[in-house]
Chains A and B, each alone.
Chain A
Amino acid sequence: MNAPLLQVENLTMRFGGLIAINDLSLTARQNEITGIIGPNGAGKTTFFNCVTGFYKPTEGRLTLTPPDGGTWPLQAMQGFRIAKKARVARTFQNIRLFPGMTVLENLLVAQHNRLMAASAFSIAGLFGLKSYRKAEAEAVEKSRQWLARIGLEKSADLPAGSLPYGAQRRLEIARAMCTDPVLLCLDEPAAGLNPKESLELNDLLLDIRQTSKIGLLLIEHDMSVVMKISDHVVVLDYGARIAAGTPEQVRHDPNVIRAYLGADEDEPLPAVVAKDLGEQ
């Protein structure tokens, strides 16, 4: 078993009277893909927003322990610091690229903090010093490698907003990866993709896990993605965890079936749903 990367303990998030997340505990591990599934409104995106600092959790602790040492109490950190210091990157359900900037520029913005330091907060950059030029060339090279990986090298100088939908999804993942994260949170990366693109996405995510050795958190509705590539699946319903385990375990969990269908336990699973859950 891999070492724990993100430990969530008793996380609760309330909006006024609404409890979006209720006493949630889970562990995401290095070098593993942790899938988070659940019906609409189960609190999946809210959970992501707590992890990445867009919301401040009402209660509970989120502890990140990167492999290279240190511990980060995410619940007490500002959003941009979580990305900068604790190195948690994310993508968004509705793609949030910088549409007017080029594909390459999008990837360079992701390397902002390193480049900023290299430009000595713009001073070295303003005078075009060699140290900065070298850092920029490295950043461009890194971007080029990522573009090659997602097959967008040719489109590097086009505005990101002009790319087709699937390419924008891939670019957003590449952009998140350019921040050198230890944990990558993907919010429905397969939404809106066609089956072929979905398969390519699977390969890309498995490849990222393989080569970058980072932890991935994955929210997904597309069961063919979740069940195929997740090492571990957590099921949420009404903000609480109702099941966890390997995809195989979760698939047969009666609680999960009930949450998705509202069906009685002893009723047989309709064929359509069984297929959706990835059963043969």
Chain B
Amino acid sequence: MIVTEGLTKSYGKFPAVRDVSMEVRSGEVFGLLGPNGSGKTTTIRMILGLLRPSSGSAAVAGFDCWRESLQVRRRVSYLPGEVRLPGAARGYQLLKYLNALRGGVGLDRAVALAERVMGLDLSKKVRTFSTGMKQKLALAQAFADPVDVLILDEPTSALDPSARNIVLGLVAEARKAGQTVIFSGHVLSEVEQVADRVAIMRRGRLMHVEDMHERRRNLRLLLLRFQGTPPESLPEELQLSVRERNGEVLFLEHRGAVGPLLSWLHSQPVADLAIGTEDLRTLYDRYHGPNAEADAEDRR
């Protein structure tokens, strides 16, 4: 549904986004993670055709995001990270205006979502709304739009816990309805809860894309203490990789089938064993934690 190839955006000599190539599949929830300044919003704005890529390209449903941005925006609804709404308008008037820009469809659903689900009083002026209420209003509109793609930039940042749950529920509903969702956020547990795949960005680069289903199904971590020296090499067919080696102790990551692993363990002089899994935080910390892996690009 969304494809970027070598997408780059530079401001003078400063590269805000560097060589991002990714594919967001139709009907999936794609989490976009990274700290402030990592290039998430710039990438999103290039997808919407609000920013022109310095090089590379982005396309939604086959339409080039810069040259055919109108076609793209017909298919996409966007919730900005920092929602700013004209205060003089009443809630209902604003929804009416936004719907009129999309041909008038979706107003009833937007009103219903705003009033019944989000609990807003649409007869009030927007300037009397709190930040969270404004975000709810914008969310109601985004979820009501009859589009193929929803791009939500930090959609829960100003919301209370119950409203956050409502939003996560609406994201799940959107996926069920076949919509593609880009969910950019900082709350890892939320992204973990809703995303099918997660991309981690760092300093404008796409560092890693993780399939969350695959991860939940197949990823396990093993902490092994051997009687004596652990083996130098591991059988390739087991899909084991060493995360840490410390004397008799090996910390391994396993992504393969369980049967062959158990057989191999049985043949090894293992003194002790712990098997666990990993949350998104651990993955995120590999790129943004205190002991984050640095690569050649970071050292440049």
The finding on whether chains A and B are genuine partners in a shared complex, rather than unrelated, reads no
Chain B residues with CB under 8 Å of chain A are none
Chain A residues with CB under 8 Å of chain B are none
